[in-house]
Structure 1
Amino acid sequence: MRPEDHTIAFGIPRLPARYGALVMPLLLSLLMTAIVSLITTLKAIGLAPRWLSAWGVSWLIAFPVLLLVLPLVRRLTARIVRPA
């Protein structure tokens, strides 16, 4: 194993594998809430915001985006967490 395989970046050590179950949802929630809040904010500009409508539009976009970003999040999680 190469020395850089033990770090995330800049000498920061990778987390033990047991944290993978926490890291993946953390990364997904960061990405998804950023995307959903952007969509909701854009939708609210010039329109009367209504929660159900805003959530529905956000979810319709968030679910396919989740399917697209999940492989990226898995790779990032693997980069942050040491293998079991």
Structure 2
Amino acid sequence: MGRIPHRYGHYLYGVIQSGITCSIAAAIASFPFIKDGAFLQHWFRSWGVAWLTMLPVVVVAAPLIRRLAERMTSRP
């Protein structure tokens, strides 16, 4: 399998980071559905909506947050 060019690393980071974060948040939000046996169904739907919403936000915000953090910290 070929590797993704480095210049697209920012987008790959956004896909991975938003996927993991939304997965955890959807699991927490779906926890009450365990007793009904609908946890996985609710989790998958919640994760999909959250991920499709957050992916563009993360892709746009990540470079801005990185620059802000660099300005707020000092290098040794």
- TM normalised by structure 1 equals 0.49
Percent pairwise identity: 7
State the partner residue of 1:62: 51
Superposition deviation, residue 68 in structure 1: 2.1
- Give unmatched runs, 5+ long, in structure 1: 1-17, 80-84
What does 1:41-60 align with in structure 2 at a 5 Å threshold? Answer: 41-44=28-31, 46-48=32-34, 49-60=38-49
Stretches (4+) displaced over 6 A:
none
- Give unmatched runs, 5+ long, in structure 2: 68-76
Distance 1:70 1:24 in 2: 6
Moved more, 62-71 or 20-29: 20-29
Query: Matched residue pairs, number?
Result: 59
State the AA in 2 paired with 1:51: L
Q: 1:21 aligns with which of 4, 8, 23?
A: 8
Aligned-residue Cα RMSD (Å) equals 2.7
State the AA in 2 paired with 1:53: H
Which structure's relative contact order is higher, taking Cα pairs within 8 Å and 6+ residues apart?
A: 1
The reply to whether residue 33 of structure 1 matches residue 28 of structure 2 is no
State the partner residue of 1:10: none
Q: Which has the larger share of helix?
A: 2
- TM normalised by structure 2 equals 0.53
Mark the CA change 1:23 to 1:69 in structure 2 (over 3 Å): closer, same or farther.
closer
